[in-house]
Structures are given as C-alpha cells and as structure tokens.
Amino acid sequence: MSSAKNASMILVIAATALAQGSSGPSKGVLVVDGGGTSQLVVEEFVRLAGGPSAKIAVIPTAASSLRFGGQKTILNPDWPRSRPEWALYEKHLEGIFGTESITVLHTRDRQVADSEEFAGALRSATGVFLGTGNAGRHAAAYLGTKVQSELAALLERGGVIMGSSAGSIILGSFIVRGRPDKPLLMAKGHTVGFGFLRNVAINPHLTSAKRDNELVNVCDEHPSLLGLGLDDDVALIVRGNRFEVIGKGGVAVYDNLPKEGAWYSWLKPGDSFDLATWKKVQ
C-alpha cells in the first residue's frame, strides 16, 4: 500500500475514533430484541417491568397486519375496536406477558398521538412493548408527539421499554428501512428514530435475513453511528451507557473500523458493552 493510501486510512480511522460516543437512557431499562421475541427475552422484560403485577402497554403500530395464536388469527390494527379479533388479541397478549393488565395503543393519526387522552394512557404503564413490522410506521405516527414524550417519561421513572424487530429499530437515533412502501436501507427523510439509544442504528434478524453487511454502508455514510446487528433470539438489556447480551445468537458491532476479514466484530450472550467508548467491557 502506498504512503498516500496509508495516510488516508490513518485519517479515516482517526476521524472515526473522534466521532465515537453513544449513549442509552440515564434511567430505566431498554430491552432491544432481535425480532424473535423469545420466551427468555419476554420473561426478562416482564420481570423488569414488575412481574405478574406489571402494567404493560403494547403498541402494534409498525404492523400492517398481525397474525397470532394457534389459529393464526389475522388482525389489521386499523380495524375498529369492536371487531372480535381485538378481544382475541388482548387475550393472546395476556398469555404471552403473564399479566391481565394489558393496554393496546394504536393510531396512525399524529393528532390523536399528540392528544392527552391517547398518550396519557402510558402514564400508568410500568413496561411498554413496541411491536414488529416497519419502524417507519412507528415514526410516522409517534415521532415528536406526546407518545414519544410519555415513553421518555416512563424511562425517567424507572420503567422498561422493549422493542422487537421494528420496535427495536425505532429505539435508536437512526432507523433503517424507514419507508414501508419502498425497500430502501437508508430512506431520505425517514431515518430519525426516538433516540433512546443516541448515535445508534439497530438492525434485527441479522443472520436469518442475511443482513451482515448492511450496517457497513450505514456507518460508512454516518461515521458517528454505532451499528448493532442482532440475531433473532438475542437481546440487549440496556442500562445507562452499558448493555448486556442475553438469549441465543450473536450481536454484530459496526464501528466503521476494519477488522480482520470484516468490518464488524461479534458479541455473544453474557458479554457487556460500553456505548460511550464503543468497547466491550472486559
């Protein structure tokens, strides 16, 4: 390699190192799930939210339709609440989370999301579950509204937010595949998330969907971002600026620096990571 190319690589690495620095919420806990919503991860979420007495709000807005239960019942979240599928869905959620205190919140109307009547329902929650689908739907409905403010307030009082797949993506500051109508990795005007994980981009279903190299492109274009790719059945338990990996599978870490044979490194269950320094905790 020529001296000019060497110097260029050194400058890139130095610039990336200076840009490093992410953070989690100062209070509360985030459960960032890879999309498998495994029993182990759900049980940990419920435990953190208060166990059998947990009051859980479920937000399924990322989905265009839901399929659940042994009968594979289909529910369009936009259907009226008088439809019988809604009662079946709530019963299904009670079984998953092991509590009868379940509130389902859904709207695509930003005025409704910004209303006291709608968002105020989150004030009694000890845990919130943000569901799967497309993160752009979560953003379109709730970004910058009272719902987002109440989610932040939930964390401030020590509550727990779990995201799965799209629900995990929206927890970051940068969202991938933010346009439900067009399969773009980086969709201009559709990349801003809730930012409970600052300077972080989440990519779920990493290995099963063959997404290993996607965040290389994102972090190359946005070197201040830490990319985290999650296998289906793995999750991050985030407290402050550190997270622990639980579940099964791996977490790929993208910091825009070359590794041996790749542009990412791996964490496994039991590993901990410091978001502020972008380093594995030894």
- C-alpha separations of 54 from 100, 170, 171 in Å: 9, 23, 21
User: pLDDT tens digit string along 119-148?
Assistant: 999 999 999 999 999 999 999 999 999 999
Region 88-99 average pLDDT: 96
Is pLDDT of 10 > 90?
A: no
pTM assigned to the model: 0.92
Q: Residue 213 pLDDT > 70, yes or no?
A: yes
Q: Which of 12-16, 64-68, 248-252 has the lowest mean pLDDT?
A: 12-16
d(CA 192, CA 26): 20
Give the model's pLDDT for residue 9: 42
CATH 3.40.50.880 fits 22-280, yes or no: yes
**pLDDT band for position 197 (50/70/90)?**
very high
**Average pLDDT, integer, range 223-245:** 98
Phi-psi sector, 158: left (phi>0), alpha (psi -120 to 50), beta:
left
Pairing of strands 234-239, 242-247: antiparallel
**What is the pLDDT, as a whole number, of residue 282?**
87
Q: What is the pLDDT of residue 79?
A: 98
Q: What is the pLDDT of residue 15?
A: 44
Kindly indicate the confidence band of residue 74, based on its pLDDT and cuts at 50, 70 and 90.
very high
Instruction: Kindly report, residue by residue over 266-280, the tens digit of the pLDDT.
Output: 999 999 999 999 999
pLDDT of the residue at 142: 98
Average pLDDT over residues 55-59: 98
pLDDT at 7 over 70: no
The percentage of residues in the chain with a pLDDT greater than 70, rounded to a whole number, is 93
Average pLDDT of the chain is: 94
What sections of 170-242 are H helices per DSSP? Answer: 214-221
Average pLDDT over residues 2-8: 44
The reported pLDDT for the residue numbered 20 is 64
Of 2-11, 204-213, 271-280, the poorest mean pLDDT is in 2-11
* 17-21, 33-37, 88-92: segment of lowest average pLDDT: 17-21
CB 227 within 8 A of CB 264: yes
Rg (CA), the chain: 19
What sign has the CA pseudo-torsion 118, 120, 125, 131? positive
Residue pLDDT, tens place only, 155-174? 999 999 999 999 999 999 99
